[in-house]
């Protein structure tokens, strides 16, 4: 099968959503996103692995906030870049992700839950004059997921769970258009949104009071994103050629399926460790059913994405009945090869470490606080073509701070 470079003016919807997917997979858990599947001791199980809800009693609620502070900046290699403008004005914007999880025990067998996650403020604003302005100026994505779930305890060992994710995505982007005869740059922008559905199935097996393992599968999700692509500031040459300046657009965005597996084991001392792994069939990420002003458009979508895997390992060390210190480490493979990476979505393999603590409050309440350091990779880009932009990240790091209140 032939592989193609991304189209020059592909709206950021078609590439930026992938960044969102990986960011949104920053599941609730311990430091460095550990303990996702089998720890199963809070309402956070309602999202990633709902079978774990069977271990909870009464009504449990978790309110969570995650703040990500990327430090990476894109450094343009001006010796190889053929477009003027130099480095972008700024790097990645901060990311704020609030989340809410609710679980209620219905009886000895059944639990019901719901999660509401809102990753917001995700995107980049590179400025109007930098060398990569014909690839991307800025893009932003807002993703809202409402996921009702249920679990059923078959016996003392085995629990099953499932849920339906209702996923809303809103996207805006802007890219400059080069114009002949020395005219100033034109502008193409998009404003699209839509809803997709996915299904999660999970199981948790408790070998003993101290050891358990689980698995969760989430299907892919097709979302029809609809809205406008707008053309502005066109000169006398492009203006009559491009015609309509407000283009009604509809695309189907497929977000890929994933599988999570995890294990939890507690020693007699009270110390414990967790291992979690994720596989996502990211090669299935695609855009299809493209319509422009109600007409089908035959566009070859670039097949540039790879399946990805992630591994997290964590440990907890109780100091007393109230305080537990926690540590973790994680690795996430790259979703795209270096030669296929583009400027709208500069993601590379990542690794990270984290530390945190859990403090038990009266009346079955507790708080978690975690701090994480991520190495986000150099993420080199070479766009090739007549307007070539070459560069990579400097200071490829990010700091993530998470706080959860359980009650």
* Domain-wise residue ranges, the chain: 13-70+89-315
Using 50, 70 and 90 to split pLDDT, how confident is the model at 340?
confident
Q: What is the pLDDT of residue 380?
A: 93
Which span out of 123-127, 171-175, 189-193, 365-369 was modeled with the highest average pLDDT? 365-369
Mean pLDDT taken over the chain: 85
Asked whether residue 26 carries a pLDDT value surpassing 60, the answer given is no
Q: What is the pLDDT of residue 230?
A: 87
Q: What is the pLDDT of residue 241?
A: 61
Q: What is the pLDDT of residue 12?
A: 37
Of the two residues 35 and 68, the one the predictor is more confident about is 35
Q: What is the mean pLDDT of residues 218-239?
A: 83
Distance separating alpha carbons of residues 37 and 225, to the nearest angstrom:
31
pLDDT digits (tens, 9 = 90+) for 293-309: 777 776 666 678 899 99
Cβ atoms within 10 A of the Cβ of 269, count? Answer: 8
Of the two residues 238 and 69, the one the predictor is more confident about is 69
Q: What is the pLDDT of residue 227?
A: 92
Of the two residues 312 and 237, the one the predictor is more confident about is 312
**Residues of the chain above pLDDT 90, percent:** 53
Q: What is the pLDDT of residue 231?
A: 84
- Residue 81 DSSP label: -
Asked whether residue 22 carries a pLDDT value surpassing 90, the answer given is no
Stretch among 20-34, 142-156, 200-214 having the lowest mean pLDDT: 20-34
What phi, psi does 361 have (nearest 5°)? -105, 170
Q: What is the pLDDT of residue 8?
A: 35
Stretch among 145-159, 242-256, 380-394 having the lowest mean pLDDT: 242-256
Q: What is the pLDDT of residue 9?
A: 38
Asked whether residue 165 carries a pLDDT value surpassing 80, the answer given is yes
pTM: 0.86
Stretch among 117-131, 142-156, 263-277, 368-382 having the lowest mean pLDDT: 117-131
Which span out of 13-27, 220-234, 319-333 was modeled with the highest average pLDDT? 319-333
Residues whose CB falls within 8 Å of the CB of residue 294, separated by 6 or more in sequence, listed in order: 248
Cα torsion through 238, 241, 247, 252, rounded to 10: -100
- CATH: 2.40.160.60, 3.30.1360.120, 3.40.50.970, 3.40.50.300. Which one for 13-70+89-315? 2.40.160.60
Q: What is the mean pLDDT of residues 306-322?
A: 95
Q: What is the pLDDT of residue 210?
A: 96
> In sequence order, what E strands does 18-157 have?
59-70, 73-76, 95-105, 110-117, 122-125, 138-153
Q: What is the pLDDT of residue 181?
A: 74
Q: What is the pLDDT of residue 177?
A: 84
Q: What is the pLDDT of residue 4?
A: 35
Q: What is the pLDDT of residue 116?
A: 93
Strand duo 381-382 + 390-394: pairing: antiparallel
- Residue 61 DSSP label: E
Are 164 and 136 within 8 A, CB to CB? no
Q: What is the pLDDT of residue 247?
A: 83
pLDDT digits (tens, 9 = 90+) for 83-116: 999 998 865 567 778 899 999 999 999 999 999 9
Q: What is the mean pLDDT of residues 192-221?
A: 95
Asked whether residue 398 carries a pLDDT value surpassing 50, the answer given is yes
Residues whose CB falls within 8 Å of the CB of residue 29, separated by 6 or more in sequence, listed in order: 35, 36, 39, 44, 276, 312, 314
Of the two residues 295 and 369, the one the predictor is more confident about is 369
Asked whether residue 10 carries a pLDDT value surpassing 50, the answer given is no
């Amino acid at each position: 099968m032939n592989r193609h470079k991304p189209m020059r003016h592909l709206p950021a919807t078609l590439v930026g959503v992938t960044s969102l997917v990986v960011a949104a997979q920053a599941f609730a858990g311990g430091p460095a996103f550990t303990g996702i599947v089998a720890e199963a001791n809070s309402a956070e199980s309602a999202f990633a692995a709902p079978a774990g809800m069977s271990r909870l009693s009464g009504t449990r609620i978790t309110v969570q906030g995650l703040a990500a502070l990327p430090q990476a900046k894109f450094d343009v290699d001006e010796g190889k870049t053929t477009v003027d403008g130099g480095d972008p004005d700024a790097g990645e914007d901060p990311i704020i992700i609030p989340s809410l999880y609710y679980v209620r025990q219905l009886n000895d067998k059944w639990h019901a839950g719901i999660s509401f996650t809102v990753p917001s403020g995700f995107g980049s604003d590179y400025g109007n004059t930098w060398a990569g302005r014909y690839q991307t100026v800025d893009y932003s994505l807002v993703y809202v997921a409402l996921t009702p779930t249920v679990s059923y305890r078959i016996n003392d060992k085995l629990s099953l769970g499932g849920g339906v994710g209702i996923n809303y995505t809103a996207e805006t982007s802007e890219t400059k258009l080069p114009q002949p005869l020395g005219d100033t740059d034109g502008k193409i922008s998009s404003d699209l949104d839509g809803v997709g559905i996915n299904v999660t199935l999970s199981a948790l097996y408790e070998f003993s009071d101290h050891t358990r393992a689980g698995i969760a599968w989430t299907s892919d999700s097709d979302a029809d994103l609809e809205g406008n692509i707008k053309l502005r500031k066109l000169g006398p040459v492009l203006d009559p050629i491009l015609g309509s300046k407000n283009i009604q657009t509809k695309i189907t965005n497929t977000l890929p399926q994933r599988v999570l597996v995890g294990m939890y084991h507690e020693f007699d001392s009270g110390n414990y460790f967790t291992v979690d792994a994720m596989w996502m069939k990211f090669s299935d990420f695609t855009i299809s059913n493209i319509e422009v002003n109600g007409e089908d458009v035959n566009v070859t979508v670039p097949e540039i994405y790879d399946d990805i895997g992630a591994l997290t390992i964590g440990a907890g060390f109780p100091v007393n009945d109230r305080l537990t210190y926690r540590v973790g480490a994680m690795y996430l493979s790259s979703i795209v090869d270096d030669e296929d990476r583009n400027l709208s979505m500069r993601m590379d393999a990542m690794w990270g470490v984290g530390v945190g603590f859990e403090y038990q409050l009266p009346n079955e309440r507790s708080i978690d606080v975690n701090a994480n350091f991520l190495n986000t990779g150099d993420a080199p880009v070479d766009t090739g073509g007549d307007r070539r932009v070459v560069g990579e990240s400097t200071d490829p790091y990010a700091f993530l701070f998470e706080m959860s209140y359980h009650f």
